[in-house]
Amino acid sequence: MNKQELYQKLIDTFFEYDGAKKDFLAYKNEQELKEILDLWDTSREWNQDWEDVFWYLQKYFQYCAKTDHPQFLNRMWTGANTPSVLWEMATVLTNVSACTYESAPVSTLMEKYMVSEMLKIVWFENGEWQMTTGSSNANMIAMMAARNSRQKSIKQQGVFGCRALFAFVNQESHYSLDKAANILGIGTDNLIKVPTDRFGAMDIRILGELLEEYSQKWEVFFVAATAGTTVRGAYDPISEIIKLRNKYGFWLHVDGAWWGPVFLSPVLRERFLSGIEEAESFCFDFHKMPGTALICNMLLINNKKWMLSSTCGVGNTDYIFKDHGDEIHSEDDGDLGVMSLQCGRRVESLKLFLDWKYYWAAWFAKKIEHYYQLCEYAENYIKKSPELQMMFPRVSFNLCFVYQHDNLKKQNILNEAIREKLYRESKSLVWSATIQGRYFLRLLICNEDITTTDIDQFFQNVIEAKNEIDI
Ligand SMILES: Cc1ncc(COP(=O)(O)O)c(C=O)c1O
């Protein structure tokens, strides 16, 4: 097959897959799938036979989770926006690394354009940015910039001999912040988990008391507010934390991986992100709620030009970059790799650029507001249903609920069994979590094709599954 025939066959396979989607998954357990895929079959090795390649491809499509299915309610992302899918293909076909202007001239400019758009909308002035491999990484880079700006010698001399550094986060913050504390030599014991109020946001009074206590003896260098906690969807009170920042002088980072993009909707920004423009840094995933193809993340730094390049830039990079780690930079340097922790950088800007140009900000705002309305609808369904119960009050988008049972232990087992049954029967896939010994289901709505009928169907699936479980 020549290249043209190959691409044509690939497109035919895509359409075949797209037309065949009925359930979100053709469930097989690991053993069954192993046998079907027969990955250890040596007869398919070294053949250089395209038929074998397409056989694997078809199997992949057949058994992967169809994340754009309206009953795939399990993750913070679903099927991606079509413009971003097209450009993701272009990214793969052109196969370049976005570390130097020389090798990636168009994507470098598109990335700079996209970032200038985001800095403007978030109202960060004189800012810097990094498109990273996700919010986990963005959280770590933000913590690293905060650490290096607090202890100027740390880049050269390490943490040895420094006064102990302490960071503060919501006790329900994402585990990537623990990883960051581990990687950066802060130590996970020095990442203080602040208890939450009953809505799952950091208790601001307790945070104030902890800051007062720790700042007497140690360096309080970093507070990460979460804009949409992973499990409950709680928003830490940014404006209140800013008052504390003004008193104690830490770096305020906002982890908006999940619902940070509410900044695109003026109404929701006012409700959930008030004060964001005064934070030191802010990260969010365009691949989650906004629906750009995975991975698409941005870390924005406020009012601190060259912070990222001086934080991340080290070592001899003469062989690759025009400009180097600690030296003075100019706007036109072009090489985005200088600010990055990686050398090779996947081109993530193309898909974001095209999504943005195709839909524009107002469309994203409407989409998020629509999700919000659907969450209200789902909450009302739960409240009206005699069988179901909200586990926590809904603060924003996450819906944590259970099928009720008068015995807590049995309730946990029952809800776990319902989730598993729905998954194995390929009816619905919903996420779950456990807080304080209580297991519950967590419904996430971030698929633009979902309607109220799909939400009704999901709850009916839950109730029907219970009727077939004897607990
Ligand atoms: C609040 C929060 N922060 C960070 C992350 C990590 O994001 P990523 O998957 O882009 O690394 C997540 C992921 O779910 C999250 O919910």
Which DSSP string do the residues of 366-417 spell out, in sequence order? HHHHHHHHHHHHHHHHHHH-SSEEESS---SS-EEEEE--SSHHHHHHHHHH
Q: Is 176 in the pocket of ligand 1 (CB under 6 A)?
A: yes
**Contact (CB, 8 A) for 21 and 14:** no
Instruction: State the residue for tokens 């470098």.
Output: 108
CA of 136 from ligand 1 middle (Å) equals 6
d(CA 390, CA 433): 13
Cβ partners under 8 Å of residue 171, min gap 6: 193, 194, 195, 196, 202
Q: What is the architecture, at CATH level 2, of domain 89-355? A: 3-Layer(aba) Sandwich (3.40)
Q: Tokens in use for 32?
A: 């069954």
Return the beta strands (E) in 86-218 as ranges: 128-130, 165-170, 191-194
CA of 402 from ligand 1 middle (Å) equals 24
Q: Is 285 in the pocket of ligand 1 (CB under 6 A)?
A: yes
Helix 3-19 to helix 50-63 angle (10° resolution) is: 20
What atom of ligand 1 comes closest to residue 137's alpha carbon? 11
Cα dihedral sign, 447-449-451-453:
negative
Q: How many C-beta neighbours within 10 Å does residue 42 have? A: 6
Nearest CA to ligand 1 atom 16: 230
CA of 467 from ligand 1 middle (Å) equals 35
Cβ partners under 8 Å of residue 205, min gap 6: none
Instruction: State the residue for tokens 């700006």.
Output: 149
d(CA 283, CA 281): 7
β-bridge mates for residue 399, sequence order: 443
What are the pLDDT tens digits along the chain (471 aa)?
A: 898 999 999 999 888 887 776 788 999 999 999 999 988 888 777 778 898 889 999 999 999 999 999 999 988 999 899 999 999 999 999 999 998 898 999 999 999 999 999 999 999 999 999 899 999 999 999 999 999 999 989 999 998 888 999 999 999 999 999 999 999 999 999 999 999 999 999 999 999 999 999 999 999 999 999 999 999 999 999 999 999 999 999 999 999 999 999 999 999 999 999 999 999 999 999 999 999 999 999 999 999 877 888 888 888 887 888 765 455 455 556 788 888 888 999 999 999 999 999 998 999 999 999 999 999 999 999 999 999 999 999 999 999 999 999 999 999 999 999 999 999 999 999 999 999 899 999 999 999 999 999 999 999 999 999 999 988
Total-model pTM = 0.94
**Contact (CB, 8 A) for 471 and 446:** no
Write out the residue limits of the CATH 3.40.640.10 domain(s) in the chain: 89-355
CA of 3 from ligand 1 middle (Å) equals 38
Nearest CA to ligand 1 atom 10: 134
d(CA 53, CA 271): 51
Helix or strand or coil: residue 310? helix
CA of 331 from ligand 1 middle (Å) equals 30
Cα dihedral sign, 449-453-459-464:
negative
d(CA 150, CA 144): 10
